[in-house]
Every structure is written in structure tokens, then in C-alpha cells.
Amino acid sequence: MPLGQSPPTPLDGDRTGFDRLYTAVTAGASYHPYPSILLRPEIRIDHNDSSRAFENKSDLFTATYSVIVVW
């Protein structure tokens, strides 16, 4: 199961419009229920340590799911 953390971004807000430190943590998994099907769920949380950059909140939670069929 992959687990990663994004490197810190600049504190001045040049790229986002909101200053301070952004952090992101992502976790995902891969599952083969059949040889030709791959299921990949993933969750991610983004955090800004002092600004409310995500619709007036300091955190953003994202969940995704992909299905790959090989033939």
C-alpha cells in the first residue's frame, strides 16, 4: 500500500493565493479480484497550517476509486 507525503510548498502563497505551509498525505491500495481487473482506491488529505484555503476550511479530504480492465 503506497503512502506518501508531498514536499512542503513555499510559505508566501505565490502559487495558491493563500500563504503558509501546505501539507498533503495520500494512501492507496491495489487489489486484483480477478487476473484481468485491478481496483485502486485512494484517499488524500490536504492541510494548510493557518489559512482557510479550501472553501473557508483548513483541510480538504479527497477519496477516489479507479477500475482497470485488461484484455
Domain span holding position 63: 3-69
* CA–CA separation, 34 and 55 (whole Å): 40
pTM score of the predicted model: 0.60
Amino acid at the residue 63: A
Is 63 a residue whose pLDDT tops 60? Answer: yes
The pLDDT, as a whole number, for residue 56 is: 72
DSSP 32-62: EEETTEEEEEEEEEEEESS--TBTTBSEEEE
The pLDDT, as a whole number, for residue 25 is: 86
Tens digit of each residue's pLDDT (9 = 90 or more) over 12-48:
555 556 666 677 889 999 999 999 999 999 998 887 7
* Higher-scoring residue by pLDDT: 33, 1: 33
Total of domains in the chain: 1
